[in-house]
Structures are given as structure tokens and as C-alpha cells.
Amino acid sequence: MKKTVFSLVAILSLVWICFAYTPDTETKEEISNLKVQVTALSEDDNRTLFNLYEQARDILQYIKEEKTSYIVTQVRDYALSKFTTRKDAAKAEALQLKQELLDAYQNSWLQLAEELSENCYWRYNTLDNLSYAYDFPTALTIAVWYRETSCGYYLPKNGDGPFQIVSKDYGNWEITKEIFEQAIKDFLEFSWNKINRYNGKNPDTPIVLWYKSFSYKDLYKFAWLYNGLSWSTVYWDIGPANPKYFLEKMPGEYENWKKNGLFLQFLKVIEREIKQ
């Protein structure tokens, strides 16, 4: 039986190869022109580049005509390859900063942290791609997801989604890949709105959080902007309404709590990234 199945698969593969679409010179030129347009539209704009990839990826399932499907596939693969090349370069540039931040707390605070749950990492590529597209630290995206819903791949009953954005309504039915990706984008846009508002009020002491740039003090400020301030103003030094959101499991008052605070979870993620 196994031999029969194998032979059938082999035959079907040969048939597909024989009848696969072969582009003519005109089609190749059309694809070349489209690639030039993709490059022009996305120069120094990774979000646009990733959006072009997503649009090509998503529309492919509805295309039946071979030539059009071939062209869109070529554009999709070109956009993703270009995006991945940029992201890999940025990741390599950020490696030293990650190591320096990790070394600073390796033998003190990090020893108190809970181990990184696999739930937080098995969708890493999706989280990493979108974080890079929005120029935001991937480890921070994951750390917030952990603090809000323990990296759960579900829709909480309150309707606020995996990142608990109260201004959004995701419902409480079964989550899908599309809903999860949209929730990540909503989180990234929401976070940038918070950061930009703070930076507009405090131009001399801005929060600097990018895909390859971050620091303890800026992560600290971001945590309060995202989780809640102890007072309503965003001017000058800001304080937390809920300190344990950032500080949990760190030495001192919050050391014996059960769940990693935002900072320790951030460190656990970059520790995993460095080991890859």
C-alpha cells in the first residue's frame, strides 16, 4: 500500500512539472517591471514592503488563472525576500546591544525570572516580521503579550484581544491567524501612538524604542504609558499606576511574585533570540 501511494504521488508530481506555467518573454518583462515598482514604493519603508507581501499572499488564494497566479507569486516572493534580507541585517546589528543588556542583568535579576514559555515563542516569526515592519522591538511585543494574556492564542471574554486594548472589540469567539495578525498590528499602532504623544510633550527626553534600539529606562517609561500612569499627565517623569507590571520578579518588593514583569520577560526573549 505504501508503495502504491508513493508511486501515485510521484506521478502527480511529474504531471504538475509537465504542465506548470512557463512564462514567456513578455511575462518576464512584466514581472521585472513590477519588482522595480515594489522597490520604488518600499524604499526605506518596511511597513509598505511587508504590506505588499501580505496583499500578494492573501490574494493568491482567489486567483485561478495560471499566468496571473504566477506573476503574483513572483511579486510575493520578491517582496518577502527583500523584507527578510533587511530584517536579518537589522537583527544582526542589534545583537551586540541585546548581549550588553542581557550581560548587565545576567547574574542578578535574570536569575529570578521564570523560564520563557514556549507559548510566547512558537509564533515568533509572525511577531518578529510585524515588529520589524513597524520598527518596534520584537521582545517588547512578546513581553506585552505575555503580561496581558500569558501569550495566549485566544480571544479573552472581555473582547479586548490578546494585547488587551480596551478601545478595540475583537469579540470572544475562536481566534484565527488573520485576527491574531490584526491584533499585533493594532498593538504596534497603539504603542506608537502612545510613544509619539509622550515624545511630543517631552522632546528633550524622548522614548527611543526601535527594532534595534532599546534601553531599560525607555522600556520602563513605555510600561507606564501602556499599562497606566499614576497620574494623568504625560509631561516629564512618569510613574506607574501598577508597578509590578514592569517590576515583578525583580529584587526587592516584587521578588516573590509569580509572574515575570515586563522587563524580565523582555530579557528572557532576547536571551532566546541570542541563542538562536
Distance set, CA 69 to CA 24, 30, 31, 35, 57 (Å)? 14, 13, 12, 15, 10
pLDDT tier, 238 (very low <50, low <70, confident <90, very high otherwise): confident
Taking each helix axis from N to C terminus, what angle separates 25-41 and 46-59, rounded to the nearest 10 degrees? 140
What pLDDT is stored for residue 50 in this prediction?
Answer: 97
- Find the mean pLDDT for residues 159-172: 94
Q: Are residues 135 and 266 in the same domain?
A: yes
Q: Are residues 192 and 265 in the same domain?
A: yes
Q: Are residues 262 and 128 in the same domain?
A: yes
Residue 114 forms part of a structural domain: yes
Which are the contacts of 86, defined by CB distance < 8 A and separation ≥ 6?
A: 46, 49, 132
d(CA 110, CA 126): 26
- Find the mean pLDDT for residues 199-224: 94
Q: Are residues 134 and 255 in the same domain?
A: yes
d(CA 84, CA 63): 25
Taking each helix axis from N to C terminus, what angle separates 124-133 and 66-105, rounded to the nearest 10 degrees? 90
Left if phi > 0, otherwise alpha if psi is -120 to 50, otherwise beta: which for 206? beta
Asked if pLDDT for residue 1 goes beyond 50, the answer is no
3-state secondary structure 11-44: HHHHHHHHHCCCCCHHHHHHHHHHHHHHHHHCCC
What pLDDT is stored for residue 235 in this prediction?
Answer: 65
Q: Are residues 133 and 212 in the same domain?
A: yes
| Model pTM score | 0.89
The mean predicted confidence, pLDDT, of the chain is 89
Q: Is 56 exposed, middle or buried (0-12, 13-18, 19+ CB in 10 A)?
A: buried
DSSP 88-124: HHHHHHHHHHHHHHHHHHTTTGGGGSPPPPGGGTTTH
Q: Are residues 69 and 185 in the same domain?
A: no
- Find the mean pLDDT for residues 168-179: 93
- Find the mean pLDDT for residues 242-247: 92
The least confident of 25-29, 80-84, 86-90, 178-182 is 25-29
Asked if pLDDT for residue 2 goes beyond 50, the answer is no
Number of domains the chain is built from: 2
Share of the chain above pLDDT 70, in %: 90
Residue 100 forms part of a structural domain: no
Asked if pLDDT for residue 270 goes beyond 70, the answer is yes
Share of the chain above pLDDT 90, in %: 76
What pLDDT is stored for residue 230 in this prediction?
Answer: 61
Q: What is the domain extent for residue 174?
A: 106-275
Q: Are residues 201 and 141 in the same domain?
A: yes
Asked if pLDDT for residue 42 goes beyond 50, the answer is yes
Secondary-structure percent of the chain, ordered helix, strand, coil, rounded to 5: 65, 0, 35
Q: Are residues 236 and 128 in the same domain?
A: yes
**What is the residue type of 120?**
C
pLDDT in tens, 96-141: 999 999 999 877 788 889 999 999 999 999 999 999 999 999 999 9
CATH number reported for the structural domain that contains residue 164 in this entry: 1.10.530
pLDDT in tens, 49-100: 999 999 999 999 999 999 999 999 999 999 999 999 999 999 999 999 999 9
